[in-house]
Amino acid sequence: MKFSYAMLPDYPLEESLRAIKLADELGFHAVYAADETWHKDLWLLFAAASQQTSRIRMGPSLSGVVLREPSLIAQSAATLDELTGGRAEVVLGSGNFGLLAEYKIDWKETKPLSRVIEGVHVVRTLLDDGAITFDGEFFRYDGLFTFARPVQERLPVKMGAMRGPRSFVAAAEHSDGCHHALSYTREAYDYAAEHLRAGAEKAGKDWTELDFGAWVVVSVGRDSAAAKDAARSMVGIYASSMPAEQLERNGVDPDSLKPIIEAIGRGDLAKGVELTTPEIADKLSFAGTPEEVTAKIKEIEPAGVNHLIAALTDASLVKAFTGRELPGVATVEEQLRLLHDEVMPAFS
């Protein structure tokens, strides 16, 4: 199993660069970041990180094709690939529904899956051919070309998926893999695997060769209670973007989250954290000691997951989002070392 670090680029840039450099030195597969207006720009951050690293791959997980035009995603990815010597990759999706709402865009009217499938075609074509003529439902080009060319023979283009079966089928059929965000149970990953297999069969692919990534909230430390409290502080924020059917596959009653989501929607993050019970947090995060985190990953591994993407949560991130002060929580750098030293060896 590969291990990667998913960051929210909200730290001082020097701190983010140090964490990326450490992940590179420790042998993590990739570092990903959210391509969202809420955060610092990942493309500029990774351009800087490209000059301080030698092995780690990098790119967005994910970049939304509603707000960022896919030809520009291809341009940025190819440029980053040249800067890194062939270490770029991209994960595409429709984007964060909460962010789209702040742009006064109703995600239900965007035809999200059809738009993403078309976006994958645009990015793949421009990366492979350097030019595109295309008349789609969402994107149209007449001889558009770019001098931004990737270094690697095939820059991976993957899809994010969370909701129903069609998203997983499409990820396997049309892209190089699937980052399944915010799922924590064997049931959820068996469900994803069933439909990834179906999509791969439609395209004549071996589904086991796809990147099947589990994008999960992780907080690991020697102090189990502190790590779990850090995860609890962020679970409601992440869970607010999870559709009801996904919550149910993770053993959570969607109605139990309604007061939490309403509080967060009002901007009352402190109340949202207060309402997030330890039981809900435990179901929607991989948190605790290295041994506890290892056990949770082992529960989902038999479903075919071959890539653990750890969205690390530390005290600085919790304070930035919620204002809570949490003593005893391991820093991002400490968590990267704990994952490397005490979790990753169990999956080598």
d(CA 280, CA 151): 44
pLDDT < 70 stretches in the chain: none
- pLDDT score at 187: 97
Q: Estimate the share of the chain in helix, then strand, then coil, as percent rounded to the nearest 5.
A: 50, 20, 30
- Is residue 203 in some structural domain? yes
- Is residue 302 in some structural domain? yes
- Is residue 12 in some structural domain? no
- pLDDT score at 344: 98
- Is residue 210 in some structural domain? yes
Give the residue numbers spanning the domain of 264. 158-347
Determine if the pTM surpasses 0.85.
yes
**Torsion on CA atoms 90, 91, 96, 99, rounded to nearest 10:** 10
d(CA 49, CA 63): 19
Task: For Cα atoms 207, 6, 324, give the angle at the middle one, nearest 5 degrees.
Answer: 140
- Is residue 278 in some structural domain? yes
Q: What's the number of domains the chain is made of? A: 1
- Is residue 56 in some structural domain? no
- Is residue 73 in some structural domain? no
- Is residue 64 in some structural domain? no
- pLDDT score at 329: 97
- pLDDT score at 60: 98
- CATH number for the domain spanning 221: value is 3.20.20.30
